[in-house]
Homo-oligomer: A and B are copies of this chain.
């Protein structure tokens, strides 16, 4: 009973770290780390429509955004039954798109990620991500 609870608590810590590692890796454009966070057979249903994880990662590698970004992710709402090998994270994020030069516009996006996560190699990976933009605004 206690043993299972400790495992459940540790899993939730790992899942929180997974969301924050995503945030840092996407902002640093660290493609190698990003590849470890998603399941290679998974899929992403994002702003640019649905794609496989490998196409999604290839798309990120192929583009060099102007400016930088800051993905501020809220605490995830974690749905993980005790002992389960998969669960769901519901994450609110505010993404800041920071212009490369002083004159550019600063863009803020409100995004909701719903991630289906699975246990993998002793850790956790995102098997399916649904990413939905709730709003977008510019700070002039």
Chain A positions near chain B (C-beta within 8 angstroms): 2-3, 5-6, 8-10, 12-13, 16-17, 19-21, 23-24, 68, 70-78, 90, 92, 94, 96, 98, 106, 108, 110, 112, 134-135, 137, 139
Which 6 residue pairs spanning A and B have beta carbons closest together?
A: A20-B77, A137-B139, A98-B135, A70-B110, A5-B6, A72-B92
Do residues A74 and B77 form an inter-chain contact, with CB atoms below 8 A?
no
Q: How many copies does the complex hold?
A: 3
Interchain CB contact under 8 A, B77 and A98: no
Q: How far is the CA of A24 from the CA of B91 in the complex (A)?
A: 10
Residues from chain B with a CB closer than 8 A to the CB of A74 are 20, 23, 72-75
- Distance between Cα atoms of A78 and B19 in the complex (Å): 12
Closest to A90 in B: B24
**Alpha-carbon distance A87/B138, docked complex (angstroms):** 37
Inter-chain contacts of A112 with B (CB < 8 A):
70
